Amino acid sequence: MADQTQPAEPTQEQKDAGFVMHTIAGAVTSSLDAMAQRNQVANAALMGLTTILAAMPETAQLRPERVAAVLGVVLGNNTAMQQEVANFITGVINTAREVPKAMAAAEAAYLADQAKAGNAGAKPN
């Protein structure tokens, strides 16, 4: 038979190092999981706020120069952040300006469906 040697039993130092590495890996994993959850919550909050702002008729009436002035006061000289925020604001305002068209299209589709179903003249709530 071939000579089979048993693997050497790990030393206490190797066991300790393995335990430390396992503990560090667990802590990093927990931290990454917590960050991912916070990002998910932050994204949901941002989408909710965006939806509310875009749904407000007043948002579509915002004057770009007024928004730019407030943006400059809030963010100061952070031009990279200003550009990102300005792009976001522009998107919200443009979306708000499209809401009346979307509402009209939804109402027209609803009325067409009602007419097909024999409920002509029924208005959506």
With beta carbons less than 8 A apart as the criterion, state whether 99 and 55 touch. Answer: yes
User: Considering Cα of 45, then 49, then 51, then 52, what sign does the dihedral take?
Assistant: positive
pTM of the complete model: 0.60
pLDDT tens sequence across 22-73: 888 888 888 888 888 888 999 899 999 999 999 999 999 998 888 888 988 9
Q: Which residue has the tokens 């027209």?
A: 108
Arithmetic mean of pLDDT over the chain: 86
Residue 56, H or E segment: none
